[in-house]
Amino acid sequence: MNKEHVQQNGIAVNQLGYRSRDAKIAVIAGQGGRFHVVDSLNGEVVWQGQTSPAIEDAASGQIVSRGDFTAWAMPGTYRIEAENGQASVPFVIADEVYEDAHRALLKAFYYFRCGTKLDELHAGLWHHGACHLTPAFVHGDESRQVDAWGGWHDAGDYGKYVVPGAKAVADLLLAFEFYPEAFAQPLPLPESDGRLPDVLHECRYELEWMQRMQDEASGGVFHKLTTLRFPAGDVMPEDDTAPLYLSPISATATGCFAGAMAMSARVYSPYDETFSGSCLRAAERAWAWLEEHPNAPGFRNPADIATGEYGDAQDEDERYWAAAELYRTTGEARYHEAFQALAKQDSFEKYELGWADMGGYGTFAYLMSEREEEPELAQELMTGLLQRADALAAVSARDGYGISLLPDQYIWGSNMVVLNHAMLLLVAGRLSGSEDYERHVHEHIHYVFGANVVGMSYVTGYGAKPILHPHHRPSEGDGVEDPVPGLLSGGPNKGLHDDYAREHLAGKAPAASFADVMDSYSTNEVAIYWNSPAVFVLSHFV
């Protein structure tokens, strides 16, 4: 570890603040000792305590101690001061801390919309024209075109991808199933009508695009819709006019599609039976394709397409999720049998929530189902879920910043991993009735909003020191000083996957391998499937 690159001073806090009744931790670089909670308005010391013993934190490369001031719950604006003169940025203690950020993280999906004008009434400073409305060529059969407009831009580019889109939809629909009261207030959106919660309006915009991605003839689902190359970093979406191409059908896209559509059929049924029925029919056609293609090869980009691949060598986890959702929605024995057969396989993880490892969604669906379960299998899956949650909690308890990432897990999109873990901890607590995991979830949120080694909030527009230069083409090209608000940065990535990172971040500790610059796409890009677990986790606390 190159100590020359390690910041050794500072006090990191959740820059949004802390709810009165929640765990409150400040992370203090160095040996620690006495620390004080100071009223920022008058400079008065209102509470003081002793830090925990200092530890060498492998992920951050720091010596850190932790100041626990959970006992101080009086609403107000404060800062933390240490005896060596260090001080944190100001923060609040209040009953409502996360509401605005929760709404912004959800509203970000509106800003990701493709194929429609973002008007000034709803988009504010970040409005722009409609984009990507031309039909797409089917790759390998350019005589055929498909009108697949709509959906969400995936990330800082303008590609649209079924697999990560399905994860994002699943996270948002799970959040609505678990915490419907968190979505009671309108955003608003152009479609807001009071009859359908806005989170369901937003997901429907993506789901209708996904339905256009289903091949009419076979029921399989095209993997993605992109241009052949990414445009320059400052090109606005309406100016990206290169031809669009549908990449070939893949089993992973078809499996994720089936899972998301079956889930949507259930969630939308009380609100819109027609749309619910279209989702179920689409899911069943996709499942039929999966049954007809039991040994489909993993997806790889065609040779002339250089946009994001989202390649995945195996599809058992996507089939597992699809079978679970179809069984939960329909109760049909054939889906139950398929799920049980897939559950016996050990070729995939059953508790992961990433775009490449979707098994966790299948496990959640089965354990949450009101259908008749196979008791031994349900118990086995529940035991495994709690073992996974306990393992994450143990890592969190040892980590200097209180999160569940090991040093080698600071990968591309590490903040997604942080929030996926927090999401799993919440689901495990909900299904088991245990409250033991919630304290660790607090610290995952604190980390995202500033209690981290770089001392920044990883969400645009939120916190005293938010990221300002995400890898996000509209934010770069729109001429507005501030980036689109509510976007979650990918976060530290020890892999040095872009030129800027290779030049400027080599030798940094894993958790410090971050740069708030547009050029560092491997640390500072944004994505729909990073925002979506953030929405789920904050939904628990609003």
- Kindly list the catalytic residues: 157, 471, 516, 525
CA dist., res. 204 & res. 196, Å (int): 11
- Max CA-CA distance within the chain? 74
- Identify the three-state secondary structure at position 34: strand
Q: Nearest Cα to 74, choosing from 48, 96, 98, 93?
A: 93
**DSSP state letter for 527:** B
CA dist., res. 417 & res. 312, Å (int): 18
- Identify the three-state secondary structure at position 523: helix
Question: What is the spatial order of strands in the sheet that 91-94 belongs to?
Answer: 18-19, 91-94, 76-82, 34-39, 45-50
CA dist., res. 420 & res. 491, Å (int): 14
CA dist., res. 352 & res. 124, Å (int): 37
Q: Nearest Cα to 10, choosing from 76, 69, 84?
A: 84
Torsion of CA 284, 204, 248, 417, to 10 degrees: -100
Q: Which residues contact 36 (CB under 8 A, 6 or more apart)?
A: 45, 47, 48, 80, 81, 82
Is-contact 333 289, C-beta < 8 A?
A: no
Q: Is the backbone peptide bond immediately before 188 cis, with ω within 30 degrees of 0?
A: yes
- Identify the three-state secondary structure at position 287: helix
Write down the residue that tokens 């799920």 correspond to.
Answer: 339
Interstrand relation of 55-57 and 45-50 (parallel, antiparallel or unpaired): unpaired
